Amino acid sequence: MSYLAPDQGDQKRLQIAEIELSGQPAINGYFTFEALKDHNFDSAPTGISGTSLTLPAGHYMGRVALSITRTSSNQNYQFILEADGTEAGIRGQTSWYDNYRADFAEGDFSSSSAITLKVKALAIENSAPTLDTSTLGYSRLWLWRIAS
């Protein structure tokens, strides 16, 4: 997909990547980027199988959804995107927690140089749930990138 940016007049392309998440981090820990499921980036993000993803310079929108399995009814995560050490956007969570409800964590971030992206566990209610690994329940990060 491509479009003309209203303030620049040059053609831009929308790129997307889908990345599977895993792990069971403690508070202030990071989820693991398990697998790059698909992408149409000019060059693939690096850092798969680790907790830090390296992205080429650009403008991004990220969205995270966690699919979990609980052993008790009130096991939940609060989570957020972290770009170059700064929390980006709104936090998400796996259920109602601390009077806040948002299933997705999402935010936008930009840089003229490479970006280090992480998915941070902000809080855990009672004990950490397990990320679901069933075929239909994978936890995901989706990234949209604007490229020239």
Confidence grade of residue 122 (pLDDT, cut at 50, 70, 90)? very high
The residue-averaged pLDDT of 49-59 equals: 94
Note the pLDDT of residue 1.
Answer: 45
Cα–Cα distance for residue pair 114/129, rounded to 1 Å: 32
Q: Is the pLDDT of residue 101 over 60?
A: no
Cα–Cα distance for residue pair 99/20, rounded to 1 Å: 28
Higher pLDDT, 95 or 137: 95
User: CB of 90 within 8 A of CB of 107?
Assistant: yes
DSSP 72: S
Note the pLDDT of residue 73.
Answer: 76
Residue with token string 């930009």: 110
DSSP 132: P
**Average pLDDT, rounded, for the chain:** 87
Cα–Cα distance for residue pair 76/137, rounded to 1 Å: 16
Strands, E assignment, the chain: 2-4, 11-22, 32-39, 53-55, 58-65, 68-69, 76-83, 86-93, 105-111, 115-125, 130-131, 139-147
Note the pLDDT of residue 99.
Answer: 54
DSSP 1: -
Tokens at 7, concatenated: 């303030």
Give 48's strand partners. none
Per residue in 13-46, pLDDT (tens digit) is: 899 999 999 999 999 999 999 999 999 999 899 9
